[in-house]
Amino acid sequence: MGNDNNTEPMESTITVSARGADRIQDGHFWVYRGDVADGRAEAGAVVRVNAPNGRFLARAFYSDRSQITLRILTRHDVPVDRAFWRSRLEQAVSFRERLDIDATAYRLVHGEGDLIPSLVIDRYGDYIALQALSQGTDRLLPEVTGLLVEMANPTGIIARNDPRVRLLEGLEQHVTVVHGDIPDTVAVREGTVEYDVDLRRGQKTGAFLDQRENRIAAAQYVSGRTLDCFSYAGGFALQLAPHVTELTALDISEDATALLARNAARNGLSNIQVRTTNVFDELRTLERMGETFDAIVLDPPAFAKSKSAIEKAISGYKEINLRALKLLTPGGFLITCSCSYHVNEGMFGEVILDAALDARVDVSVV
């Protein structure tokens, strides 16, 4: 008898504990190593997940390194094949199309939110940047790339697989062009604002796309003299400058401030003053000088990238918010942000309250 070289590899089965089964049935996407009762699989494989009694629960990505051993893909007993992935991608793209987003740069796939755990896909005009953050999506990358080429026909696709979280999966950090070509900068539009992004070296996949709606909304509240702290390439500054008399943008990165200056010129915004400086130090200096502003934006990088950093992060957030509140004119607006996963909304609200009490100012949430 001859061998059938087209035979699919046998699916591995992972049995979870009763607690793990409850988590899956309650809608959780992750099962931790402590709730895996039996079974092993290849790194990044799609596995069948069974309850202790052998009943089918789900199909999931398997990781042999991460504490997150299983990332749930579907609770239906269906094959996870190319058609499955194409359907998931089509659903994600269709949803964005229905939103009628007034921008050429936006998130196409947001991991668990689009039922493709640990995969991020961002669109930047004719280009796509993606991140595979687990063994499962790393193994899936060639198939996802092929599907994106078929569905979106991008000029280029870049894998921004440089986040440190990949190390927890035993994966290398790297940036790789996986299709076509990627230029040094890509021009995108957000509302009426145009700006350049660096898909190879820029933050996240190139820009902070998750703040797009907030940047546009903030324009309703600003006027007069405005201070934009941790401005990076000008996401807030470019949106706010047309509504204020003058805007000072601060960032510690010379590359970021140089890009911001170019973006300001691109949009004909002559009222933006860009300074390369340590924001913490500059806020203290501005206070000593008696400077005041009608609106201040605080959009710092994540201060708490792990639970162990929460206490230090809380101190940092309080410091910058306290200084900013002291610089605000009466009736001024503070637009303050946190992108630290480990600092939740309640904790952040307490930070602002404590800062306001120490600054001896009354504040209202608008």
Give the pLDDT of residue 2: 45
Write down the architecture of domain 208-359 according to CATH.
3-Layer(aba) Sandwich (3.40)
Distance of CA 263 to the CA centre of its chain: 22
Give me the residue spans of the domains in the chain: 13-74, 82-180, 208-359
Non-local CB neighbours of 231 within 8 Å, separated by 6+ positions:
237, 249, 250, 251, 256, 257, 260, 274, 297, 299
Give the pLDDT of residue 307: 82
Give the pLDDT of residue 8: 53
Give the pLDDT of residue 23: 97
**Distance between CA atoms of 82 and 85, rounded to whole angstroms?**
5
User: In this structure, are strands 246-251 and 272-276 parallel, antiparallel, or unpaired?
Assistant: parallel
Give the pLDDT of residue 298: 97
Give the pLDDT of residue 304: 78
**Distance between CA atoms of 358 and 325, rounded to whole angstroms?**
10
82-180 fold? Transcription Regulator spoIIAA (3.30.750)
Give the pLDDT of residue 9: 65
Residues of the chain with pLDDT under 50: 1-7
How far is the CA of 3 from the CAs of 6, 7, 9, 69, in angstroms? 9, 9, 13, 33
Write down the architecture of domain 13-74 according to CATH.
Roll (2.30)
Convert the pLDDT of each residue in 268-320 to its tens digit. 999 999 999 999 999 999 999 999 999 999 999 888 778 888 898 899 999 99
Range list of H helices, the chain: 18-25, 82-99, 135-152, 212-218, 235-240, 254-266, 279-288, 310-327, 345-359
Query: Tokens 């390369």 identify what position?
Result: 276
Q: Same CATH topology for 82-180 and 208-359?
A: no
Residues forming the active site: 339
Helix 279-288, helix 310-327: angle, nearest 10? 30
**Distance between CA atoms of 302 and 272, rounded to whole angstroms?**
25
